[in-house]
Chain A
Amino acid sequence: MKTRFDAAVIGAGIMGCATALFLARGGMRVVLLDRGEICREASGVNAGTLTMQMTRAALIPYALRAHEMWMAMPAWCAGGDVLATACPGLSVAFTDAEAAMLQERARIRREAGAPIDLIDGRAAQVIEPGLADGVKLAGHCPIDGFASAYLTGRAFRAALQEAGVTLMEATPVRAIAGRFLLNTSAGAVAAQRVVLAGGVWLQDMLAWLGVTLPIKVLINQLVVTERMPQVMRTVLGVASGLLSLKQYANGTVLIGGGWQGIGDRARGGLAVRSENFLGNVRLAAHTVPALRQARVVRSWLGLEAETADALPAIGPIPGIDDAWIIGSVHSGYTSGPYMGRILAQAILGEAPELPLFPIDRLLHQGSNSA
């Protein structure tokens, strides 16, 4: 055996990259494997929203800390940069029903630590002049922002190298034997610990270890416009969370919000669903009317993982010493780097700053054994 790594992290998305980086910084010899290229799935194609107003309440403390990390990324990521930009965020309601939903959701998120205040439509238009008339109520959060998610792989790559992580791209893992011998397309890789960080493919990865954990696959649609003159300056969403809008410094406007396209775990994101494509862009144009002047350049899909209770799977894998899991974090990009940091703390034997999300709650009693 050539090298026995202290840890093998499987899946080079934001969760895997952050975990591998902080493990290596903690002194471990780490190998990071991906069947494709670094951050080319959800972590590289998501909407880059760094908002509190689409984040689940339970994750707000994590997302707030991650927001700080994103804004200071070059400092802890060896100069790696995703052009993270801080700006205010608005979540708007056009109807009474949406206003009621917004009030409730803003209250819950505020209690979780997000500094969201409710303002009327006119005040919202002062913060966001691009916003349409007819807004009844808006949630305003001064801590918001966005990143260029497509830069994530490039940003992490150099830092991983500097930290001494062995990055094995285009190297699918086929199975895991013993504790732990990874059967990969590039031969066997041995490691003392294993971290599964495979996004929507976590279900298949857990099966290697004999663990059954259903992971639902969301096929999130995204749409981007051609560069255009400035039409907005905040991160905009709607009360239901089914819209995210932001304009990048280069003038392109990214339209997201989690409308569902066609695809699955096996085939990936295949295509947008035309009625959902239309619904998503109509909602965007209704919210920022100047988008009617835009040309749509591209649509694509990002696969998001979800557990049965829509809360993360982060922690030890029960019954298998030294096996860990990280993923299924709602709006996972937003809090990704922080999740990787606290999992690395746990693996390194330190107390994580904030609690992990152990998966014991999701496993059926007796149905799993190593």
Chain B
Amino acid sequence: MNLRIRNVARSAPVSIMVEGVPMMAHPGESLAAALIAAGHWRFGEGEDPARPRTAFCLMGVCQQCLLRVDGRLVQACLTPIVAGQEVSAA
């Protein structure tokens, strides 16, 4: 799945690893947007299946999109794509 809107000029795609699986994304776009564009909405199970990790506010407020990138906890909506990032559940 690719939900990216056409007619947008983007930086050349690079590869990142999401839970060990390669995924293409564009440097600079947010990790949250890249995951959503790939149809990947569920970012992790969290502590309660009724409220899993996911993108929600996309502006850095809600803290629901927490992920681990290269070992560090980050908010996916505030984290720009960089080639080679290793992404896993928080």
Which residue of the partner chain B has the closest CB to A250? B47
Which residue of the partner chain A has the closest CB to B47? A227
Q: Counting CB contacts under 8 A, is A295 at the interface?
A: yes
Question: Total contacts A to B, CB within 8 angstroms?
Answer: 4
Task: Contact check, B73 vs A295: say whether CB atoms are below 8 A apart.
Answer: yes
Chain A residues closer than 8 Å to B73, beta-carbon distance: 293, 295
Q: Which of B52-76 contact A (CB under 8 A)?
A: 73
CA distance A227 to B46 in the complex (A): 11
Q: Which of B21-59 contact A (CB under 8 A)?
A: 47
Size category of the binding interface on chain B: under 10
> How far is the CB of A336 from the nearest CB of chain B, in Å?
32
Chain A residues closer than 8 Å to B47, beta-carbon distance: 227, 251
Chain B residues closer than 8 Å to A293, beta-carbon distance: 73
> How far is the CB of A170 from the nearest CB of chain B, in Å?
31
CA distance A295 to B47 in the complex (A): 17
Q: Which of A276-314 contact B (CB under 8 A)?
A: 293, 295
> How far is the CB of B50 from the nearest CB of chain A, in Å?
16
Q: A227, A251, A293, A295 — which one has the most chain B CB atoms within 10 A of its CB? A: A295
CA distance A114 to B73 in the complex (A): 41
CA distance A293 to B90 in the complex (A): 11
CA distance A227 to B73 in the complex (A): 12
CA distance A204 to B47 in the complex (A): 47
> How far is the CB of A133 from the nearest CB of chain B, in Å?
21
Which residue of the partner chain A has the closest CB to B46? A227
CA distance A350 to B19 in the complex (A): 67
CA distance A224 to B47 in the complex (A): 18
CA distance A295 to B66 in the complex (A): 11
CA distance A295 to B73 in the complex (A): 8
Chain B residues closer than 8 Å to A227, beta-carbon distance: 47
> How far is the CB of B68 from the nearest CB of chain A, in Å?
10
> How far is the CB of A2 from the nearest CB of chain B, in Å?
49
Chain B residues closer than 8 Å to A251, beta-carbon distance: 47
> How far is the CB of A333 from the nearest CB of chain B, in Å?
28
CA distance A103 to B47 in the complex (A): 42
CA distance A251 to B47 in the complex (A): 11
CA distance A295 to B90 in the complex (A): 12
CA distance A190 to B5 in the complex (A): 74
Q: Which of A229-273 contact B (CB under 8 A)?
A: 251
> How far is the CB of B13 from the nearest CB of chain A, in Å?
30
Which residue of the partner chain B has the closest CB to A228? B73
Which residue of the partner chain B has the closest CB to A251? B47
> How far is the CB of B73 from the nearest CB of chain A, in Å?
6
CA distance A87 to B73 in the complex (A): 29
Per-residue CB proximity of A329-358 to B under 8 Å, as 1/0? 000000000000000000000000000000
Which residue of the partner chain A has the closest CB to B74? A295
Chain B residues closer than 8 Å to A295, beta-carbon distance: 73
> How far is the CB of A199 from the nearest CB of chain B, in Å?
33
Per-residue CB proximity of A211-231 to B under 8 Å, as 1/0? 000000000000000010000
CA distance A278 to B23 in the complex (A): 39
CA distance A251 to B73 in the complex (A): 16
Which residue of the partner chain B has the closest CB to A297? B63
CA distance A295 to B67 in the complex (A): 13
Which residue of the partner chain A has the closest CB to B68? A293
CA distance A25 to B2 in the complex (A): 69
CA distance A293 to B71 in the complex (A): 9
> How far is the CB of B44 from the nearest CB of chain A, in Å?
13
**4 pairs, A vs B, C-beta closer than 8 Å:** A227-B47, A251-B47, A293-B73, A295-B73
**Which 4 interchain pairs have the tightest Cβ spacing?**
A295-B73, A227-B47, A293-B73, A251-B47
